[in-house]
Structure 1
Amino acid sequence: MKKVIVLGGYGNFGKRIVENLARLENIAIYVAGRSEEKAKSCIDGLSKTAKASLHPLVMDIYAADFSNQLQKISPFLVIHTSGPFQGQNYRVPRVCIDVGAHYIDLADDRRFVCDITQLDDIAKENNVLAVSGASSVPGLASTVVESYLSLFSELDAIDLAIAPGNKAERGLATVAAILSYTGHPISVFKSGSWQDVYGWMDSRINDFGGIVGKRHLANVDVPDLEIFPTRYNVKNRVSFQAGLELPILHNTMVAMAKLSKIGAVKSWAPLAKSIVATSNIFLPFGSDSGAMEVLLTGTDIAGARKKIKWTLYAPDGNGPYIPTLSAIILAKKLIGGELTSTGATPCVGLFTLADFELYFNELDIFFAESIE
């Protein structure tokens, strides 16, 4: 029986991964974290429908005995959802590789994801696969880009945007990650060269159409900003923005960014718990619908200008499932023996859009495309 450990298995993303993988037979899933009570509660909620064997596991990735715990269990796969990844080193993936376990994480930190390749040689030596960034970015975003690449002879710009509904569940680690660079410089490829912009600034309104409509957006730091310009030979610009549905919350973040930029506040991240608690006061307002947009502009194979817009819509509060899908798909491919690659890599070039469609349909998530 293959053993799968989900670090942060009862958290915002981890519990969704456990919920999905629990449908598989002949695997043992360890719901891991520092709270045995929360792990047991997560398992209790799935016990009636789970086909997998579910086990609570008290585990702290920063503890001295972390490596010994992993070695004792000897997992086939470890899925790391315990963010924020900003400031984490490669202790967790390195230990996983050393004990012969495949490794997947949902990291959104640029350096963590982009530099995972430094573990490539050791991962190959140990015959395991280590994938970082198996989430909406760069996992799903790169899949969308690559599904349309054949329609372009040259890409001028890739513009990415995510707008969650206000009623969507807020993950503390995700909020802390965003706050860590709010008002701080972010290096982006813009106007054909690398330039600095500032986190949660350059606020604008984007019309996502469909069930979402117009939403505020601002600068967010993601691995795609570093990976995409070179990987797709983009000539002019790669951008990524996200926003909060309620203008009062979005514009408060913009004001906080301005305070950090002028040095009045070094970092908002230590206040993440208080900020999440305050934002939860506004949960009765807004909607439970979110969207993700990938906009490609460039030249087609006939030399004419081309623009493709791909928009994903998530109704009914299902948006938080989207960041988990890349990890779920990878995990199932590894468990089923469909994926035999080894090494350490950011999560790009590993999927087709067809891999995601089953999950989109199950969650009533749908996409629209326009080609001009």
Structure 2
Amino acid sequence: MDVRRILILGGYGNFGKRIAESLALLTGITVTVAGRDAGKARQLCRDLSAKGARALLEEAVVDINDEHFIDELGALSPDLVIHTGGPFQGQDYRVAEACIAVGCHYIDLADDRRFVCDIVALNEQAMQRNLLVVSGASSVPGLSSTVIDSLMDRFSRLDEIDFAIAPGNRAERGDATVRGILSYTGHPFMAFRKGEWVEQYGWMSPRRLHFGDVVGRRWLANVDIPDLELFPERYRPVNTVRFQAGLELPLLHFTMVFMALLAKMGLIRDWSVFTKPIFNGGEFFRGLGTDIGGMQINLSGLGKDHEPQRIRWTLCAENNVGPYIPTLSAIILAKKLIAGTLDATGARPCLGMYTLEEFDVEASPLGIHHQTEREIG
């Protein structure tokens, strides 16, 4: 079907507004900025119009938790819904199921492991309606899988995937992201290490990693993401998949590590109930650090010549453009649907659904750049 009406849930939020900003530059479509606050949705539409939007812009009041949500969605008649309303930890599939029921495609920016991995439960329903349902169209696993796919032809055997994300402290962030992180801080989750599934704890095992001269060295800690479960199967026979993320300011980073220790000891059950004061406390330090963020993917194995090989892919985002990165996967997929160049159907995690060249088309104008380095032996 033609995709001409795009509804962005959480459309004026940290990620939603960036997706709306990009899609608003297209002609021949309608972009509906939706959320619970009509005033914020209306103001974003005005702001985008003032910046030269070419799309028709509309605002809508939509609450995904309302008992009449499916009726509200049907009345808006979208061809595509982009769900940015996190945190996705603890959410069910009511939005995706509603999209299938009203007959529209669905994309979300979820980073919750269970939410993204289990979206395949909706595959049969989506296939029956000839619809595409995609979860995890974000930095992980959307971008991370695209990068690894682009490098796989350099390996005869891939043994280890070790990657990390390090946002700048001054980068804009939303409380939903903070709430999601806090939900597993100090809690156990499974990761694939040296061919076995082992238990590790959220926001523990700190280490420092160098992200290049611009970003520098950043502290990292364990973070639970869908890739930890998806990649051992996708990139078999890889025997280790490791992911970490961190806060730029060591004081804040090790405060989180200490909080994780308290949760592991059972002294705090769930840090996410304190999201508001923790978020506000973090905002007190927003003037410190930088607005420079980085992402690094390290792959180890055997090259085509069967000699040991390591490839390091590093991305750098300066000038506070880091928060755009989690939105680019969804933007790319939306534009492909609008252009009619994406004919996939069914429900799936966002794995290898676009190319690194397609990523560069969106990332390069923002000043986001990356490089690849290779070590042999």
- TM class, shorter-length: over 0.9
Q: Which residue number in structure 2 is paired with residue 284 of structure 1? A: 287
Residue 19 (str. 1) matches residue 21 (str. 2): yes
Alpha-carbon deviation of 1:234?
3.9
Q: How far apart, in 1, do the equivalents of 2:238 and 2:170 lie?
A: 38
Deviations 1:129-154 (A, max 9, x none): 00000000000000000001111111
Q: Which of residues 74, 78, 83 in structure 1 aligns to 2:77?
A: 74
SS class of match (1:282): coil
Q: How far apart, in 2, do the equivalents of 1:36 and 1:332 lie?
A: 26
Alpha-carbon deviation of 1:301?
2.1
Residue 65 (str. 1) matches residue 71 (str. 2): no
RMSD: 0.9
Deviations 1:326-347 (A, max 9, x none): 0000000001111111101100
Q: Spell out structure 1 runs of 4+ moving beyond 2 A.
A: none
Residue 156 (str. 1) matches residue 159 (str. 2): yes
SS class of match (1:260): helix
Q: Which of residues 111, 114, 121 in structure 1 aligns to 2:114?
A: 111
Supply the AA of the counterpart residue of 1:270. V
SS class of match (2:137): coil
Q: Which residue number in structure 1 is paired with residue 373 of structure 2? A: 370
Map residues 133-212 of structure 1 onto 2, 5 A cutoff. 133-212=136-215
Deviations 1:138-174 (A, max 9, x none): 0000000000111111111101100000000111111
Please tell me whether the aligned partners of residues 157 and 234 of structure 1 are also in contact (alpha carbons under 8 angstroms): no
Residue 32 (str. 1) matches residue 34 (str. 2): yes
Q: Which residue number in structure 1 is paired with residue 310 of structure 2? A: 307
Alpha-carbon deviation of 1:37?
1.0
Alpha-carbon deviation of 1:45?
1.2
Q: How far apart, in 1, do the equivalents of 2:20 and 2:280 lie?
A: 26
Supply the AA of the counterpart residue of 1:133. G
SS class of match (2:96): helix
SS class of match (2:125): helix
Percent same amino acid at aligned positions?
Answer: 55
Q: How far apart, in 2, do the equivalents of 1:340 and 1:182 lie?
A: 39
Supply the AA of the counterpart residue of 1:209. G
Q: How far apart, in 2, do the equivalents of 1:235 and 1:102 lie?
A: 33
Please tell me whether the aligned partners of residues 228 and 234 of structure 1 are also in contact (alpha carbons under 8 angstroms): no
Please tell me whether the aligned partners of residues 328 and 363 of structure 2 are also in contact (alpha carbons under 8 angstroms): no
Deviations 1:44-100 (A, max 9, x none): 211121111111111000101110011112110000000000001111101101111
Supply the AA of the counterpart residue of 1:244. L
Please tell me whether the aligned partners of residues 332 and 362 of structure 2 are also in contact (alpha carbons under 8 angstroms): no
Q: Which residue number in structure 1 is paired with residue 100 of structure 2? A: 97
SS class of match (1:60): coil
Q: How far apart, in 2, do the equivalents of 1:344 and 1:233 lie?
A: 22
Please tell me whether the aligned partners of residues 228 and 238 of structure 1 are also in contact (alpha carbons under 8 angstroms): yes
Q: How far apart, in 2, do the equivalents of 1:151 and 1:211 lie?
A: 27
Supply the AA of the counterpart residue of 1:156. D
Q: Which of residues 245, 250, 254 in structure 2 aligns to 1:247?
A: 250
Q: How far apart, in 1, do the equivalents of 2:268 and 2:37 lie?
A: 32
SS class of match (1:47): helix
Q: Which of residues 22, 44, 47 in structure 1 aligns to 2:46?
A: 44
Q: Which residue number in structure 2 is paired with residue 320 of structure 1? A: 323
Q: How far apart, in 2, do the equivalents of 1:55 and 1:105 lie?
A: 20
Q: How far apart, in 2, do the equivalents of 1:71 and 1:360 lie?
A: 33
Residue 213 (str. 1) matches residue 210 (str. 2): no
Supply the AA of the counterpart residue of 1:17. I
Alpha-carbon deviation of 1:210?
2.4
Q: How far apart, in 2, do the equivalents of 1:130 and 1:167 lie?
A: 33
Q: Which of residues 258, 262, 282 in structure 2 aligns to 1:259?
A: 262
TM-score by length of 2: 0.97
Q: How far apart, in 2, do the equivalents of 1:298 and 1:7 lie?
A: 41
Q: How far apart, in 2, do the equivalents of 1:127 and 1:23 lie?
A: 28
Please tell me whether the aligned partners of residues 81 and 107 of structure 2 are also in contact (alpha carbons under 8 angstroms): yes
Please tell me whether the aligned partners of residues 158 and 234 of structure 1 are also in contact (alpha carbons under 8 angstroms): no
Q: How far apart, in 2, do the equivalents of 1:47 and 1:242 lie?
A: 36
SS class of match (1:367): strand
Which has the higher mean CA deviation after the structures are superposed, 58-67 or 229-238? 229-238
Q: How far apart, in 2, do the equivalents of 1:210 and 1:28 lie?
A: 42
Q: How far apart, in 1, do the equivalents of 2:47 and 2:238 lie?
A: 49
Q: How far apart, in 2, do the equivalents of 1:192 and 1:321 lie?
A: 35
Across the two proteins, how many residue pairs are aligned to each other?
372
Q: Structure 1: 5+ residue runs without aligned partners?
A: none
Please tell me whether the aligned partners of residues 166 and 245 of structure 1 are also in contact (alpha carbons under 8 angstroms): yes
Q: How far apart, in 1, do the equivalents of 2:56 and 2:39 lie?
A: 18
